[in-house]
Amino acid sequence: MLPFHYDTSISIRFGPGVSRDIGDVIDAMACRRILVVTDPNVRRIEPVARVFETLAVDRETEFFDAVHPNPTARLIEQGAEVARVFDPDVIVGVGGGSALDCAKGINFLLTNGGRIEDYQGFGKASAPMLLAVGIPTTAGTGSEAQSYALISKSDTHEKMACGDRKARFELVLLDPELIATTPSEVRASTGLDAIAHALESYVTRTRNRISRMLSREAWHLLNGAFERYHADPSDVGAAGEMLVGAHLAGAAIEASMLGAAHACANPLTARFDIAHGAAVALMLPHVMAHNARNDPSLYEGLRVPADAIEERVVALRSLAGLPERLEACGVGQKDLSVLANEAHAQWTGAHNPFVLSVEEYETLYAVAL
Ligand SMILES: [Fe+2]
């Protein structure tokens, strides 16, 4: 067994309706001025609106609700400007991974200054950061479990991972009621993304006994609940299993990072505007097959063989109505070389159990074409 360092500090509350405790949570932190970071669609979800009403009672609140998918450095600067004027004592991120990443990104700039590019990597913030609460409204990224904010460069859209232990949420509220009205296409792509997080983090070079435990439990929860949640998001039991599964998968990433399916997905999202989860789901079975060919024991411990898991991922992708081939997303043979070079440059690829060459990435894209 290889040496490892596992470090966690996030307080987690799970349960239907738990987000309604937000007022007590903020009071217990002795905070009064709340910056809410969210996106305009999330604000319209009824139980989320109730959270915001609760927050506003006897407290000062300010909203930064301009969050969009794949948040950019420019967006973080805009949010930090709002934060500087308002001068909050706590940040509450409410939404999918983009909103939660934005909340962390704004926290970096508000408390430590400079540009978000300055925090690429890990541990670059020298000053303390503000307390923050994370409330996910999708069962997907697991960003609420992580020290990292994924922010795209404004010009090239290259993803930067900006991490610091201090950027973690102090508290996370996992409320299945908040994901009971998530639209079908969002349930599909975020659910497959969470599954990819579980399966990729299970085999990375940096995996350890604890990250594997998290990945394995995440896979079992997500695999068991995906169909029920996809058919009926108001099934609170299924929604809860998806939410906890996605969180555990996010915690596994925090401990052991991601692999080549995410390296392949990022250029597809940047160049062809394919939703992150859909792009990951397109590439994951091919990456798993590549990994399992090189080491058939890699996926042992998940109860079924790797090829059965690949088939299961393909079946769930199809059931969710996500694209099955790159060609269906506008990708052509002529694009593969550029995509392969960009995938090869992604930091997540370095954690895949087998580091792929540019040629190997091109082969994976060709098989998925
Ligand atoms: Fe992902």
For residue range 226-277, what is the model confidence (pLDDT) as tens digits? 999 999 999 999 999 999 999 999 999 999 999 999 999 999 998 999 999 9
User: How many angstroms is it from 213 CA to the middle of ligand 1?
Assistant: 19
For 48-57, the pLDDT digits (tens) are 999 999 998 8
- CA-CA-CA-CA torsion sign (74, 76, 82, 87): negative
For 135-176, the pLDDT digits (tens) are 999 999 999 999 999 999 998 878 899 999 999 999 999 999
pLDDT at 158: 81
pLDDT at 44: 86
Same structural domain, 175 and 272? no
Q: Which of 37, 127, 126, 28 has the alpha carbon at shortest distance from 86? A: 37
As for how many domains the chain has, the answer is: 2
Direct distance between the N- and C-terminal alpha carbons of the chain, in angstroms, rounded to an integer: 38
Q: Which of 126, 130, 71 has the alpha carbon at shortest distance from 101? A: 71
User: How many angstroms is it from 179 CA to the middle of ligand 1?
Assistant: 18
Residue 353, pLDDT > 80, answer yes
User: How many angstroms is it from 149 CA to the middle of ligand 1?
Assistant: 12
Q: Which of 248, 200, 258, 201 has the alpha carbon at shortest distance from 224? A: 248
The kind and range of the H/E element at 134 are: strand 131-136
pLDDT at 282: 97
Token look-up 């999708």 returns 138
Residue 2, pLDDT > 90, answer no
| CATH number (domain holding residue 117) | 3.40.50.1970
pLDDT band at 7 (very low <50, low <70, confident <90, very high): confident
Q: Mind giving me the DSSP string for 299-349?
A: TTTSSS-HHHHHHHHHHHHHHTT--SSSGGGT--GGGHHHHHHHHHT-GGG
User: How many angstroms is it from 141 CA to the middle of ligand 1?
Assistant: 6
Token look-up 């296409």 returns 185
pLDDT band at 43 (very low <50, low <70, confident <90, very high): confident
Q: For the chain, what is the mean pLDDT?
A: 95
* 5 found inside a domain: no
User: How many angstroms is it from 196 CA to the middle of ligand 1?
Assistant: 7
User: How many angstroms is it from 278 CA to the middle of ligand 1?
Assistant: 10
Share of the chain above pLDDT 70, in %: 100
Q: Mind giving me the DSSP string for 35-48?
A: EEE--HHHHTSHHH
For 186-204, the pLDDT digits (tens) are 999 999 999 999 999 999 9
User: How many angstroms is it from 197 CA to the middle of ligand 1?
Assistant: 6
User: How many angstroms is it from 56 CA to the middle of ligand 1?
Assistant: 33
- Average pLDDT (13-25) is 95
- Average pLDDT (213-234) is 97
User: How many angstroms is it from 194 CA to the middle of ligand 1?
Assistant: 7
User: How many angstroms is it from 243 CA to the middle of ligand 1?
Assistant: 15
pLDDT at 8: 84
Interstrand relation of 171-174 and 159-163 (parallel, antiparallel or unpaired): unpaired
Same structural domain, 228 and 348? yes
User: How many angstroms is it from 89 CA to the middle of ligand 1?
Assistant: 30
pLDDT at 156: 83
Cα 246 from Cα 48, distance rounded (Å): 19
Residues contacting 332, CB < 8 A, separation 6+: none
Same structural domain, 147 and 223? no
* 3 found inside a domain: no
User: How many angstroms is it from 69 CA to the middle of ligand 1?
Assistant: 13
What one-letter code names the amino acid at 62?
A: E
pLDDT band at 347 (very low <50, low <70, confident <90, very high): confident
User: How many angstroms is it from 170 CA to the middle of ligand 1?
Assistant: 22
Query: Last residue of some domain: 147, 179, 211?
Result: 179
Domain hosting residue 314, numbered range: 184-368
pTM as predicted? 0.95
Q: How far is CA 166 from CA 101, 162, 196, 214, 256, in A?
A: 14, 11, 26, 22, 19
User: How many angstroms is it from 268 CA to the middle of ligand 1?
Assistant: 13
Same structural domain, 242 and 157? no
User: How many angstroms is it from 313 CA to the middle of ligand 1?
Assistant: 15
Q: Longest C-alpha distance within the chain, in Å?
A: 60
